[in-house]
Chain A
C-alpha cells in the first residue's frame, strides 16, 4: 500500500503542475479532476473512506461541473480537442485505475492510520461538539446562495440590456 500511496501522490503533484501551466481552461480542468481523484485515493489509504467519497462527489463532481458550466458560458477559444490534449489526463487516470484495481484485488487492507475513523464517529463529532460549526456553515451556504442569486440577477439584467 505504500507504493500505491506514493504513486497517487506523484499523480496528484504532476496533475497539479499541469493545471497551473495549461493555457486552455478546459485542459486545466481535466487535470484538476485527475488531481482531486488522486487526493481522494490518498485519503482512502489514510482510512478516511467517507471523506474520500465526499471529495469525489462534491469536489470532482459538483464544483468542477460549476467550472465547466462557466467555461462553456464564457466560450472556449477552440472547440476541437485533439488526441494530444487528452493523452496526459488519460495516462494519469489510467495510473489511478490501476491503483483502484490493485486495491480491489488485494482485498481488505489495513489503513495507514493509527486506527480507522469510521463515518459514525465523524457524524457523532459533527453533530455533537461541532454543532455550532454546522449552524455557521448553514449560514455560510445561505449567504453563498443569496449572493449567487443576487449576482445572477444582475447578470440577467446586463444580458437583457445588451440584447435590446
Chain B
C-alpha cells in the first residue's frame, strides 16, 4: 500500500527526464536547450527526493540541495555564455552556430573561429553573416 507512491514518483521522474532529454535533442535554440537541461536536473532531483522518502533517510534531500546549487551555478555561466554568443552572432540556432552536424562549418568564415582568450581585440561579431542552412525550429 505504502510502496505504490514511490514507484509512481520514480516513474514521474523518469518521464520528466525523458521529456527534458527529448527537448535537448529536438530543439535547436540554445535557450531552450538550457531550459531542457534544467528539466532533466529537476527530474534527477525528484528521483533523489523519492528515494530519500522511500528509505526515510536525509541523504536524498542533501543530494537535492547539492543539485540545486549546481544548477544555479550552471545556469549563471550558461546564460552568460548565451548572452555573449547572442551579442556576437545575433542568433541562437545551434546548427547555424556550427554546433550541430547538419551543416558543415568549414565553408563560412564565421563558424570555425575558436573562442580564444585573446578576446576582444579580434572580435568583429555581427558583420559575419549567419551561415545558411539549419532551419530554425
Instruction: Write the residues of chain A forming the contact surface with B, with a CB cutoff of 8 angstroms.
Output: 2, 5-6, 9, 12-13, 16-17, 19-20, 25, 28-29, 32, 35-36, 39, 42-43, 45-48, 50-51, 54-55, 58-59, 62-63, 66-67, 69-71, 73-74, 111-115, 117, 121-122, 124-126, 130, 133, 137, 140-141, 143-145, 147-148, 151-152, 154-155, 157-159, 161-162
Contact = CB atoms under 8 A, between A and B. Distances in A.
B87 A159 contact: yes
Nearest to A36: B42
A70 B50 CA distance: 32
Contact of A17 (B6, B19, B55, B74): B19
Contact of A124 (B39, B46, B58, B86): B58
B58 to A, nearest CB: 4
Contacts, number: 199
Contacts of A47: 53
B31 interface: yes
A131 B126 CA distance: 47
Given A48-B61, A137-B70, 15 more contacts: A25-B31, A25-B32, A28-B32, A32-B38, A36-B42, A67-B75, A112-B5, A113-B53, A117-B52, A125-B58, A140-B73, A141-B72, A141-B73, A148-B76, A151-B80
Contact of A63 (B57, B75, B81, B126): B75
Contacts of B123: 157-158, 161
A16 B42 CA distance: 11
Secondary structure of the B side of the interface? helix
A19 B31 contact: no
Contact of A58 (B2, B5, B56, B72): B72
Contact of A66 (B22, B32, B65, B79): B79
A117 B26 contact: no
Contact of A147 (B27, B34, B49, B77): B77
29 contacts: A2-B4, A16-B19, A39-B42, A42-B46, A42-B49, A54-B65, A58-B72, A59-B68, A66-B79, A67-B79, A69-B79, A74-B31, A74-B83, A114-B55, A117-B56, A117-B57, A117-B58, A124-B58, A125-B62, A126-B58, A144-B72, A145-B73, A147-B80, A148-B77, A148-B80, A151-B77, A151-B81, A157-B119, A158-B88
Interface string B117-132: 0011001011000000
A55 B86 CA distance: 29
A154 B120 contact: yes
A46 B53 contact: yes
A70 B55 CA distance: 40
A42 B9 contact: yes
Contacts of A151: 77, 80-81, 83-84
Nearest to A120: B58
Nearest to B41: A59
